[in-house]
C-alpha cells in the first residue's frame, strides 16, 4: 500500500484528499485508484502531473508504504467535468490581477497602489505555497508578504535608497521566520523562500518608486503595465494554441512586450528609443521568468511544459518589475 494524495477535481471525484492504494509502482497505484474511482477519475489522471515524495515521477518508478504519490490536474481541470467549478474560476485569476494593477495605477493614490502591490504579492505567495506544498515541500508565504509590505514602506519613506534596503528586509524577515518556526530552517524551505522574498521585495519597491515624481518619466509605470500585460497575454494565447505555425510562446511574449513598450511610448510621445531598450529588458525578464518558474514550481528546469499553478506568469512579471526602476534610471 502506498499513499496517494489528490488535488482539485480528482479530489472532488474521489471524495478525499488522501487514500492508500495497493501497487508496486507509481503506475500500479494510479491504476488501482482509477479502477476504484471510475472513468472520470481515469480521464483526469491522463492530463495530471505526477510526483513521488516531492520529485517528478515516472509510471515505472517503484513505491513502498513510506512513499507518497501526488496527482495534480492542470489548472483548467482537464475534460473531466462540464460544469463551472472553483478551479475553473481560478483560471481567470491572472486577469483579475492585471485589472487590479491597472485600476490601482489609474485611479488610486500611492497608498492604494502600494496596497494593491502587496495584495498581488500575497496572491502569488499563496499560489506558490499551494504548488510547493503539493510536492511535499515547505514554503513560507507570510515571509514573502511581510517582505513586500516592508519594502513598500521603505521605498515610500527612503525613496531610491529603499530599493536597496528591500534586499536587507528580505534577508532579515526570511531568517527571522526560519528562527521562529523550525520547519522553515531546512535548505529546501529557506532557499526558495528567501529567493522569492528578494524578488518580491525588489519588485514592490521598484513599482512604488517607478510611480513617483522622482523618476525620469512620470508615465513609466503605465508603459510597464502595457508591456507586461501584452507580453503575457499574447504568450498565453499562443501557448494554448499549439497548432499555430512558426510561433512559440517565448518569442511571442518577448516580441509582444517590446512592441507594446514602443507603441505606448509613441502613443504618449515619450522616448521611443529609450523604451525600446527598456522593452527588451522586460522581454528578457519575462522569458527568464518561465525557467525560474519551472525550477521553483516543479523542481526541474524545462521550457516545454507549463509549470503547475494559477499565477505562473507572475514569476516573469516579478523579475521584470524588480529590475524596472534601475532600468529606467539608467536608460531614460
Q: Cβ contacts of residue 228 below 8 Å, gap of 6+?
A: 257, 282, 286, 316, 317, 320, 321
pLDDT tens readout for residues 209-254: 999 867 888 899 999 999 999 999 998 888 777 666 667 888 999 9
- Strands of the sheet with 49-52, listed across from one edge: 18-21, 2-6, 68-72, 49-52, 55-56
Written as nine digits, the cell of 66 is 513510506
Reduced to 3 states, what is the DSSP secondary structure of residue 19? strand
User: DSSP states of 46-105 as a string?
Assistant: HT-EEEETTEE--TT-B--TT-EEEEE--TT-TTS-SS--HHHHHTTHHHHHHHHHHHHH
Q: Does 2-85 carry CATH code 3.40.50.150?
A: no
Per-residue pLDDT band at 261 (split at 50, 70, 90): very high
Per-residue pLDDT band at 171 (split at 50, 70, 90): very high
> Residue 120 has what pLDDT?
96
Backbone angles phi, psi at 141, to 5 degrees: -65, -35
Give mean pLDDT, residues 281-302: 85
Give mean pLDDT, residues 132-157: 91
> Residue 85 has what pLDDT?
43
Domain with CATH 3.10.20.30 in the chain: 2-85
Kind and range of the H or E element at 9?
helix 8-14
pTM: 0.78
Rounded Cα gap, residues 36 and 58, in angstroms = 21
Amino acid at each position: 500500500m502506498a499513499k496517494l494524495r489528490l488535488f482539485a477535481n480528482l479530489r472532488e471525484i474521489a471524495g478525499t484528499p488522501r487514500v492508500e492504494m495497493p501497487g508496486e509502482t507509481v503506475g500500479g497505484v494510479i491504476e488501482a485508484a482509477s479502477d476504484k474511482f471510475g472513468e472520470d477519475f481515469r480521464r483526469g489522471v491522463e492530463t495530471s502531473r505526477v510526483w513521488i515524495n516531492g520529485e517528478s515521477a515516472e509510471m515505472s518508478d517503484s513505491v513502498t508504504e513510506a512513499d507518497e504519490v501526488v496527482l495534480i490536474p492542470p489548472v483548467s481541470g482537464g475534460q473531466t467535468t462540464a460544469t463551472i467549478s472553483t478551479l475553473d474560476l481560478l483560471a481567470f485569476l491572472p486577469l483579475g490581477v492585471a485589472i487590479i494593477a491597472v485600476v490601482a495605477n489609474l485611479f488610486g493614490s500611492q497608498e492604494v497602489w502600494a496596497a494593491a502591490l502587496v495584495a498581488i504579492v500575497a496572491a502569488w505567495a499563496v499560489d506558490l505555497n499551494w504548488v510547493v506544498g503539493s510536492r511535499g515541500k515547505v514554503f513560507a508565504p507570510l515571509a514573502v508578504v511581510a517582505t513586500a509590505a516592508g519594502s513598500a514602506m521603505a521605498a515610500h519613506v527612503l525613496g531610491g535608497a529603499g530599493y536597496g534596503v528591500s534586499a536587507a528586509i528580505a534577508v532579515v524577515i526570511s531568517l527571522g521566520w526560519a528562527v521562529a518556526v523550525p520547519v522553515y530552517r531546512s535548505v529546501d524551505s529557506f532557499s526558495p523562500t528567501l529567493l522569492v522574498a528578494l524578488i518580491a521585495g525588489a519588485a514592490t519597491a521598484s513599482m512604488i518608486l517607478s510611480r513617483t515624481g522622482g523618476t525620469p518619466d512620470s508615465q513609466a509605470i503605465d508603459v510597464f503595465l502595457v508591456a507586461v500585460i501584452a507580453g503575457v497575454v499574447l504568450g498565453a494565447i499562443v501557448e494554448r494554441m499549439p497548432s499555430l505555425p512558426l510561433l512559440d510562446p517565448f518569442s511571442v511574449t518577448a516580441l509582444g512586450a517590446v512592441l507594446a513598450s514602443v507603441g505606448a511610448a509613441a502613443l504618449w510621445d515619450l522616448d521611443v528609443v529609450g523604451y525600446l531598450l527598456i522593452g527588451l529588458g522586460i522581454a528578457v525578464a519575462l522569458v527568464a521568468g518561465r525557467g525560474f518558474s519551472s525550477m521553483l514550481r516543479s523542481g526541474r528546469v524545462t521550457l516545454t511544459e507549463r509549470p503547475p499553478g494559477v499565477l505562473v506568469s507572475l514569476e516573469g512579471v516579478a523579475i521584470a518589475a524588480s529590475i524596472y526602476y534601475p532600468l529606467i534610471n539608467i536608460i531614460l
